[in-house]
Structure 1
Amino acid sequence: MSLTHAPADTPPPAGPDPDLLHRQDPELAGILDAERDRQAHSLQLIAAENFTSPAVLAALASPLANKYAEGYPGARHHGGCEFADLAERAAADRARALFGAEHANVQPHSGSSAVLAAYAALLRPGDTVLAMGLPYGGHLTHGSPANVSGHWYDFVGYGLDPATGLVDHDQVRALARAHRPAAIVCGSIAYPRHLDHALFRDIADEVGARLIADAAHPIGLVAGGAAPDPVPYADVVCATTHKVLRGPRGGLLLCRAELAERVDRAVFPFTQGGAQMHTIAAKAVAFAEAATPAFGAYAHRVVANARALAAALARHGLRISTGGTDTHLLVCDPAPLGVEGRTARGRLAAAGVILDCCALAPGDARGLRLGTAAVTTQGMGEAEMDRIAELIAGLLAGRLDAGRGRSAVRELTDGFPPYPVTG
């Protein structure tokens, strides 16, 4: 197989050849075909995943994938960036307008990159940071010893009220007063309720701390008007552009104008190199899509589906954290059906029901974390949430084996293809 370009006198193809990869690299083409089939014919209930729009996928496959563009628009370290600059300015302008922010940095490669850049902009190594403890739903970047955050900063973890599963704001305030942190992080990967940004702002102001909102999960709901906006309260908002937002895998930072230079320098050159321009173009597409009334309706359907799924699972005997959800995700304990979290996840995966485990606080038990963004994108509604809950309960209780479960999942997903074929 030749990897060289065609001779100079050979005209370039008119456009992308959909069969090229199958001819040139059938092994990888087969892998991608298999992944496409897996996504289409299993239930995608991972709270951090979604299906992008075809327009976002088109931007990801654009010629900007070839462009090296270290720096920022108008101040690049490479030539030939005039169109890269236009794409990044469009993405940043659209993000500011969408979220009502004074400044947006669209270069972070991931949500984790965004959080670490926020720390770099606002903190010094050794500073104390107050964040949700990992056993309660904190992210790795909230002080895990396996993450750079746990090595560079002194994290103190706040938790949840054991009776309600809700954030214990009295504990947050007491810990803030006792430790006088340089920053407080407001955010979680498994908290199904809206966070009180105004109250966190009040606590941060009382102790002279910066407030960092890690809105990786709810930011798409914020864009669609289905969740409270952290931008007016936080010094810096960190987010991802996938999940409910339906953009490419990547990160986003929002802040006030006075922090813009510090945030930008924390991204480049401190924590990252060249921007992924094709991804930034895809972010621009996603921000424009998220500004439409159709996306707002979608975001509210995501929440309605999550609430319907939580209620249906509860009727089948699973224990629902906080008694329900305000967002796209829910956490449940499968123990009442006689199975613990890791075993439950494996049993469901064998039947094509794909979801995650998470900690059930307090304690070491593992629960299940489910999200409804992807299935809502496919067009499923509350009736399908009832069917999904029945499937999950049947598989966990042993009323359905993996084979019958796979057949039921296939029957359901066949009616809701993620990318319908159009004529």
Structure 2
Amino acid sequence: MSETNQNLSSAYKTILDEVAKVEPRIADATRAELTDQRGSLKLIASENYASLPVLATMGTWLSDKYAEGTVGHRFYAGCQNVDTVEDVAAEHARELFGSEYAYAQPHSGIDANLTAFWAILAHRIEQPELADLGLKNVNQMTEEQWETLRRKFGEQRLIGMSLDAGGHLTHGFRPNISGKMFHQRSYGTDPETGLLDYDAVAALAREFKPLVLVAGYSAYPRRINFAKMREIADEVGATLMVDMAHFAGLVAGKVFTGDEDPVPHADVVTTTTHKSLRGPRGGLVMATEEYAPSVDRGCPLVLGGPLSHMMAAKAVALAEARTETFRTYAQNVADNAKALAEGFLKRGARLVTGGTDNHIVLLDVSGFGLTGRQAESALLDSGVVTNRNSIPNDPNGAWYTSGIRLGTPALTSRGFGADDFDRIAELMVEVLQNTEPVTASTGKPGKAKYTIADGVADRVQSATDELLDAHPLYPGLEL
């Protein structure tokens, strides 16, 4: 254990001892969470383990400062240190991803996407309309002119990947705000291969003529050719927005380059800073200089005061991501996903798209006679943490599902390698093969209840404990 980790370990223990004096239940829950994370195979694709320096940065007095506005233009006095923090975070983001502009204020991925959507609307609609009206800014507009703009804002169109094909709810899913802001259509994947069909996306774009074309995914186990998506956007005059929240770490680590790197091709790019990027829970928006002034208005347009302590933690994580060590990590994430996928395939399991070339493996559990909810629960009983997920044209819908989404970023952070992931596939298949659905009281097959054959869960839990003991989480940290 390094001297740095020893010092941080002592600091965390002291902090939790102080918390316990005020509210012991919170201190106990925090300690229990570390125990739970240490004792389970975390395969949730959207989760990871931030470094101790990143975690420590979140818990500082930067939390106590209000700082609405932008660097050098705040609505509160005394923000010089917050200006430094935000400047450093944006600098690291620009250098890491090769972006012209970066905005570090969004509190989450959905905040980043909302900021991006409104920035695109403001840039694409407001400025041309103002010029037509002979006005320089919105403060000069009459109520009648505002009403004209409001009607235009409400009639804009967006297309994004459908939820069951692997898209995200913020890409135009109707119950989400993105599906209410825009008239929207969704593109799916090829029904035979499960792969993105660029010709179909282009045909939809020509028919629907969207203002915004959203690319990106949360449960699609393949890479995207962003040069092709840019061609489609340009053909119909759309702004190309890419949500790379899931695979930002693979972009940062130079696993995705050329046409697979969204930053050189997109007008606006959003991301979270956790997941494969291995930072704090938060968001970023990156854009070309053309869109920068509109993105900068995220606060007060859709954001409140920026969380200065979180921007500081983003800066630390982004600095970590600029190292050669992180590049090695990112490549290992992709290699481990392939090992996990191959481990399933050689044991007869079915994967959506037949494999992976990113960090996600999407397992179709219907071949085991289970719903995603049953499989998720049985695996949790055995020490394997996953999340159920829809698959294309899922007969069980978005709640019970027919799939399990798996990701390799978290366990790769613990040092797991290809052989370990092959073993994980073996253990998961053992659990699923020995899990049976329970018939509901109506006589129909239940979608939630299940039974696991005697001894299987305990046997698999013991095997997972061996794997976990070989790759300790935050070694030396004792609370």
Q: Give 2:196's match in structure 1, choosing from 167, 175, 186.
A: 167
Q: Give 1:384's match in structure 2, choosing from 420, 430, 437.
A: 420
> Residue 134 of structure 2 aligns with which residue?
none
Q: Give 1:199's match in structure 2, choosing from 228, 247, 263.
A: 228
8 Å CA contact 2:218, 2:246 repeated in 1: yes
Q: Give 1:407's match in structure 2, choosing from 457, 462, 466.
A: 462
Question: Which one-letter code corresponds to 1:238 in the other structure?
Answer: T
Q: Give 1:115's match in structure 2, choosing from 113, 116, 127.
A: 113
Confirm whether residue 294 of structure 1 aligns to residue 325 of structure 2.
yes
1:212-237 deviation digits (Å, cap 9, x = unpaired): 00111111110000113211111100
Confirm whether residue 274 of structure 1 aligns to residue 305 of structure 2.
yes
Q: Give 1:63's match in structure 2, choosing from 51, 54, 61.
A: 61
> Residue 130 of structure 1 aligns with which residue?
159
> Residue 211 of structure 2 aligns with which residue?
182
8 Å CA contact 1:106, 1:253 repeated in 2: yes
CA distance in 2, matches of 1:216, 1:272: 19
Unmatched tracts of structure 1, length 5 or more: 1-12
Confirm whether residue 80 of structure 1 aligns to residue 78 of structure 2.
yes
Confirm whether residue 229 of structure 1 aligns to residue 261 of structure 2.
yes
8 Å CA contact 1:317, 1:337 repeated in 2: no
Confirm whether residue 40 of structure 1 aligns to residue 38 of structure 2.
yes
How far apart are residue 280 of structure 1 and its match? 0.3
Count of aligned residue pairs for this structure pair: 409
Question: Which one-letter code corresponds to 2:86 in the other structure?
Answer: E
CA distance in 2, matches of 1:151, 1:397: 42
How far apart are residue 16 of structure 1 and its match? 5.7
Confirm whether residue 249 of structure 1 aligns to residue 281 of structure 2.
yes
Correspondence list, 1:234-383, <5 A: 234-265=266-297, 267-365=298-396, 366-383=402-419
Question: Which one-letter code corresponds to 1:104 in the other structure?
Answer: A
CA distance in 1, matches of 2:243, 2:96: 17
8 Å CA contact 1:138, 1:188 repeated in 2: yes
CA distance in 2, matches of 1:58, 1:31: 18
Runs of 4+ aligned structure 1 residues displaced above 6 Å come to none
When structure 1 is superposed on structure 2, of 413-422 and 172-181 the one drifting more is 413-422
How far apart are residue 144 of structure 1 and its match? 1.8
CA distance in 2, matches of 1:146, 1:36: 34
Question: Which one-letter code corresponds to 1:252 in the other structure?
Answer: L
8 Å CA contact 2:202, 2:232 repeated in 1: yes
CA distance in 1, matches of 2:154, 2:227: 27
Partner of 1:178, secondary structure, is: helix
1:387-421 deviation digits (Å, cap 9, x = unpaired): 11111011111166222222222222122122111
CA distance in 2, matches of 1:415, 1:421: 14
> Residue 4 of structure 2 aligns with which residue?
none
How far apart are residue 93 of structure 1 and its match? 0.6
8 Å CA contact 1:101, 1:231 repeated in 2: yes
8 Å CA contact 1:69, 1:77 repeated in 2: yes
> Residue 7 of structure 1 aligns with which residue?
none
Alignment root-mean-square deviation, CA: 1.6
TM-score (norm 2): 0.83
Question: Which one-letter code corresponds to 1:241 in the other structure?
Answer: T
Question: Which one-letter code corresponds to 2:84 in the other structure?
Answer: L
Question: Which one-letter code corresponds to 1:416 in the other structure?
Answer: H
8 Å CA contact 2:159, 2:172 repeated in 1: no
Partner of 1:185, secondary structure, is: strand
Q: Give 1:22's match in structure 2, choosing from 10, 20, 25.
A: 20
Q: Give 1:219's match in structure 2, choosing from 230, 235, 248.
A: 248
How far apart are residue 358 of structure 1 and its match? 1.4
8 Å CA contact 1:132, 1:187 repeated in 2: yes
CA distance in 2, matches of 1:352, 1:358: 19
When structure 1 is superposed on structure 2, of 118-127 and 219-228 the one drifting more is 118-127
8 Å CA contact 2:99, 2:263 repeated in 1: yes
CA distance in 2, matches of 1:149, 1:312: 38
8 Å CA contact 2:16, 2:27 repeated in 1: no
Unmatched tracts of structure 2, length 5 or more: 1-10, 122-152, 397-401, 435-452
CA distance in 2, matches of 1:64, 1:326: 39
CA distance in 2, matches of 1:65, 1:307: 40
CA distance in 2, matches of 1:326, 1:411: 28
> Residue 52 of structure 1 aligns with which residue?
50
Question: Which one-letter code corresponds to 2:213 in the other structure?
Answer: I
> Residue 3 of structure 1 aligns with which residue?
none
> Residue 9 of structure 1 aligns with which residue?
none
> Residue 101 of structure 1 aligns with which residue?
99
How far apart are residue 363 of structure 1 and its match? 3.4
How far apart are residue 204 of structure 1 and its match? 0.5
8 Å CA contact 1:43, 1:354 repeated in 2: yes
Q: Give 1:397's match in structure 2, choosing from 412, 422, 433.
A: 433
Partner of 1:298, secondary structure, is: helix
Question: Which one-letter code corresponds to 2:470 in the other structure?
Answer: G
CA distance in 2, matches of 1:248, 1:45: 18
How far apart are residue 422 of structure 1 and its match? 7.0
How far apart are residue 337 of structure 1 and its match? 2.5
1:117-170 deviation digits (Å, cap 9, x = unpaired): 111111233311011112211211112222111111111010100111110111
CA distance in 1, matches of 2:278, 2:316: 10
Question: Which one-letter code corresponds to 1:316 in the other structure?
Answer: R
The higher radius of gyration belongs to: 2
